[in-house]
Structure 1
Amino acid sequence: MRINWDYIKLMALLLVIFGLFAFSNERSKKRAVTGINVEFVGDQNLYITEAMVNKLLIQKYGSLTNMPKEKLVLNTMEEVIETNKMVKNAQVYLTVNGELTSKIVQRRPIGRIEGSTKFYLDDEGKRMPLSMSHSARVPIITGKITGKSLEDVYEILKYINDDNFLRKNVIGIHVEDEENYQLKFRMENFVVNLGGIDNLEEKFKNFKAFYIKADKDSTLDDFAIVSLEFNNQVVCTKI
């Protein structure tokens, strides 16, 4: 009988591969956590600290060091971290060296509400609590804060945040009522009456044209009020 050596070699190779896979799989199951690492993605202003993240996990699971890999439920760990209101998204994984790593994206505040209750407004228009770890340098919102005015303020903040000049210079928004918003600038004494949130692009375009000319003429200090309420006009009131 003729022996098919090619077939035997193939079967032997498959057995070796299967054995290596089984060995690797068994070794992987026995791998334990050797350390914990927390990484913050993007903005380095820490509204939640590494210690806070570790505390959340320890409260839920106890000490994680030396915990076998098979006992880790990574999806649940992510959900635990995301219960913190400063966290937008969390990803937890175990490295080949056994380090349990949490990659965290924080929520990003774009305005701070100073009303009967104090909180941040984040870049998705949601309420975000103040942090004991870091105070964000964002416009302060004052005045008659209501549900509708808060929605309008978010639209104004989004526009400000997307404009380099406005983002650097606007330090406050005051709500007179739901159709009248005032802006306070970092270096100027005048206030800007924005009116409502209609035609924001046109209003700010006109304002920046006025600002450039007044700055060139050295007359910015002459004004107490700059109004953008009227169609395609900038109306100024002198001191």
Structure 2
Amino acid sequence: MIRYVVTILSVLLTLALLALLTVSFENGTNGGTCKAVAVSLQDEEGARFVSETEVKQLLLAKGIRLKDKPLDNIDYAAVERAVKQHRLVQRAECYPCPSGIVRIAVWQHIPVMRVFSGGHSFYIDAKGVKTGLSTLTAADVPVATGAISDSVTLADLYQLALLLKEEPTWDALIEQVVVFPDGEWLLVPRVGDFDILFGRPVNMETKLRRLAVFMSEYLPRIGWESYSSINLKYDNQIVCTRKET
């Protein structure tokens, strides 16, 4: 009997606690107002391309003022749509908290390559999407220049950027990609005064593996200033041109 009474009391206390929590939550949202707006970046990866100030200024420019506005009257979907109009915002989520703070979670576009084409410059992000530049900082990514005028070339550059991003030792080797009108590429290394004749963008992973081995095992012994060019266009070999003395 005593055990039965204790069980009943436990159930009643649990229900009372849940009711109290529900009321507390409702008092913090329903009928409350926005006390503050907090913007958080979810995927900085060491680089900050979007600032809290930019997000708040963007909302004001769209005529969206959240401070002191009733939480029940805020169009959270409209806030998300407005924030996603920022050139470097990939995704946004907006929601109220019981404390009265409206939180905006932001996911950035993460650049993997910067492209200069036709007098314009833009990033390609980790998902292959073209995005604008940041006013805060420049991304430390390889740069592509030259005859870049079609989606096929951009797709090939994106594949190269992914290969470099996935292998840090390769990323440390390449600073720039020059695309020629005939479709062949030239790579500019971060270290060393020579050109890397990459040829057309085929078998890119194999070429990069050969280049990495050559630059890590052979060049330190023969000398970084020994060659004017390193040619990767031929299968299973690397053809080097010595500098004229």
TM-score in terms of structure 2 length: 0.83
Gaps of 5+ in 2: none
**Is the aligned partner of 1:144 residue 2:142?**
no
For each residue in 1:165-213, what CA deviation from the matched residue of structure 2 results, as whole angstroms up to 9, or x when unmatched?
Answer: 1212311000013631111111111111111222122111111221123
CA distance in 1 between partners of 2:69 and 2:106 (Å): 22
1:232 maps to 236
TM-score in terms of structure 1 length: 0.85
Q: Report 1:207-218 matches (<5 A).
A: 207-218=211-222
CA distance in 2 between partners of 1:52 and 1:169 (Å): 34
- Quick check: 52-61 or 171-180, which moved more? 52-61
Letter of the 2:205 counterpart: E
Change (3 A) 1:107 1:21: closer
**Is the aligned partner of 1:36 residue 2:53?**
no
2:170 maps to 166
How far apart are 1:71 and its partner, in Å? 0.7
Q: Indicate the RMSD between aligned Cα atoms, in angstroms.
A: 2.5
**Is the aligned partner of 1:197 residue 2:201?**
yes
Change (3 A) 1:23 1:61: farther
Residues 214 and 220 in structure 1, CA contact (< 8 A), matched pair in contact too: no
CA distance in 2 between partners of 1:151 and 1:217 (Å): 36
**Which residue of the other structure, out of 96, 118, 122, is the alignment partner of 2:121?**
118
Residues 30 and 70 in structure 1, CA contact (< 8 A), matched pair in contact too: yes
1:90 maps to 92
Residues 47 and 131 in structure 1, CA contact (< 8 A), matched pair in contact too: yes
Gaps of 5+ in 1: 1-5
**Is the aligned partner of 1:78 residue 2:80?**
yes
Letter of the 1:111 counterpart: M
CA distance in 2 between partners of 1:50 and 1:152 (Å): 34
**Which residue of the other structure, out of 112, 119, 128, is the alignment partner of 2:131?**
128
Residues 149 and 177 in structure 1, CA contact (< 8 A), matched pair in contact too: no
Residues 91 and 106 in structure 2, CA contact (< 8 A), matched pair in contact too: yes
CA distance in 1 between partners of 2:145 and 2:19 (Å): 69
Change (3 A) 1:23 1:159: closer
Q: Report 1:48-67 matches (<5 A).
A: 48-67=50-69
2:159 maps to 155
**Is the aligned partner of 1:186 residue 2:190?**
yes
Letter of the 2:134 counterpart: S
Q: Report 1:20-31 matches (<5 A).
A: 23-24=23-24, 27=27, 28-31=29-32
Give the ranges of 4+ consecutive aligned residues of structure 1 lying more than 6 Å apart after TM superposition: none
Residues 228 and 235 in structure 1, CA contact (< 8 A), matched pair in contact too: yes
Aligned-pair identity (%)? 22
